[in-house]
Amino acid sequence: MRNSFLHRCGWMVVVLGCVHLVGCNGAKKPTEQEQFYPTPGRYTAAPLNATRPRVGIPVPDVQVVAGATPEARAGEDAADQLFWVADQSGRFNLIERERLAQMIEQQGMTGIIRPGALNRKGHLRGVDYLLICRISGLSISGVEQPSTVSVANAERLMHISTPPPRVTTTCRVEMRLIEPTTGAAAATVDDSFNRVCSPQAMGLNIPAPVPTVLHLSDDQINAVLRVVLDDALRRLLPEADAVLTLPASTNPAAPDLAAGAPSATELIHGAATTQPAIAKIHCPECGAEVSPDDEFCPNCGARLLLKGVRIKPSGK
């Protein structure tokens, strides 16, 4: 019995040796290459006839189930990365979340939004759309090395070959480009993100061997969220482009931001007027020309009152 076992082991060593020699001197073994993934932040150019709406970026709702340290600030990190990918797309005039919160407070619209959702519809001046995002079930983990007996595993144990490190990232991303006045979604995407790749493809620098259970820092979670949100935005852009290239007369939800044209919010509510302004004044925040009858700047949403006194007109 013992001789038979040794005989089989001897043949296995011979076979493995032949496989190794063939891999080195004969037909080359196909190497496992990294699947191509697009670089985050690099997108096709916007259509030439597309408008650039004013888009607010509220804090997304993020649920991390595995892979992060307790100190990670996933919601704020996601807001930063969502702003970054949206800005890189070159399609929107973006409003940062701090400025958006100030506009909401100035207009008495507190509570109109919460992380990941539009709480209620409302006429929010200076904003054409809100880019609402929710990330659920975010999990990042190392890939376990196989334990079954195979030629590949035998080669790994004999240090003939070393498998590349891998991480698994899964989550669900819901992204909505919402017109706040009507609550209608101009573009939507429901992205089931599932990627098994090298740590570098997720923006991570983790030395091998990668542990199965990860405790990523706040900076590392930031890198993962950039890749995840980039993937969702790529899926959203074609639908958004289709809406933003339609004329306002065809689709009232698509803002017409040409010079002198009203915003989508003003089109819906009939705030635009063809009557000449009695006097010209300018917004103290952005310098845009506004009507003396406006309480808030239609360009940036700032209140047009300084300590309770109307801004002095700059024209007749």
Q: With 60 as the cut, is the pLDDT of residue 224 above it?
A: yes
DSSP tally for the chain: helices H, then strands E: 6, 12
The length of the chain is 316
Closest C-alpha to 126, from 273, 306, 309, 266? 266
**Res. 129 pLDDT band, cuts 50 70 90:** very high
pLDDT at 277: 36
Whole-number average pLDDT of the chain: 76
Look up tokens 């001046």; give the residue: 125
Look up tokens 């096709």; give the residue: 44
Summarised one tens digit per residue, pLDDT across range 22-68 is: 444 444 443 445 578 889 999 999 998 899 999 999 999 999 999 88
Residue 210's alpha-carbon distances to 65, 213, 222, in angstroms, are: 19, 9, 19
What are phi and psi for residue 218, nearest 5 degrees?
A: -60, -40
pLDDT at 294: 66
Closest C-alpha to 103, from 236, 286, 254? 286
Kindly report which listed range (31-35, 172-176, 273-277, 284-288) carries the lowest average pLDDT score: 273-277
Look up tokens 């539009």; give the residue: 118
Segment 294-306 shows an average pLDDT of 68
Closest C-alpha to 155, from 5, 15, 4, 310? 15
Q: Which amino acid is at 197?
A: C
Q: Which letter does DSSP use for residue 189 in this model?
A: E
Q: Alpha-carbon distance 101 to 110, whole Å?
A: 8
**Res. 270 pLDDT band, cuts 50 70 90:** very low
Segment 57-84 shows an average pLDDT of 90
Q: Are 211 and 196 in contact (CB under 8 A)?
A: no
Q: Are 95 and 82 in contact (CB under 8 A)?
A: no
CATH tag, 54-244: 3.30.160
Percent pLDDT > 90 in the chain is 40
- Give the other-Cβ count within 10 Å of 6's Cβ: 10
159 versus 196: the higher-pLDDT residue is 196
Summarised one tens digit per residue, pLDDT across range 3-13 is: 554 445 454 54
pLDDT at 20: 46
Q: Return the domain boundaries, the chain.
A: 54-244
Q: With 90 as the cut, is the pLDDT of residue 247 above it?
A: no
Q: Alpha-carbon distance 138 to 12, whole Å?
A: 43
**Res. 250 pLDDT band, cuts 50 70 90:** low
Q: With 80 as the cut, is the pLDDT of residue 186 above it?
A: yes
Q: With 70 as the cut, is the pLDDT of residue 15 above it?
A: no
Angle between helices 74-88 and 218-244 (to 10 degrees): 40
Q: With 50 as the cut, is the pLDDT of residue 103 above it?
A: yes
Summarised one tens digit per residue, pLDDT across range 194-216 is: 999 989 999 998 877 888 888 88
Residue 273, Cα to own-chain centre: how many angstroms?
37
**Sign of the alpha-carbon dihedral angle for 8, 9, 12, 17:** negative
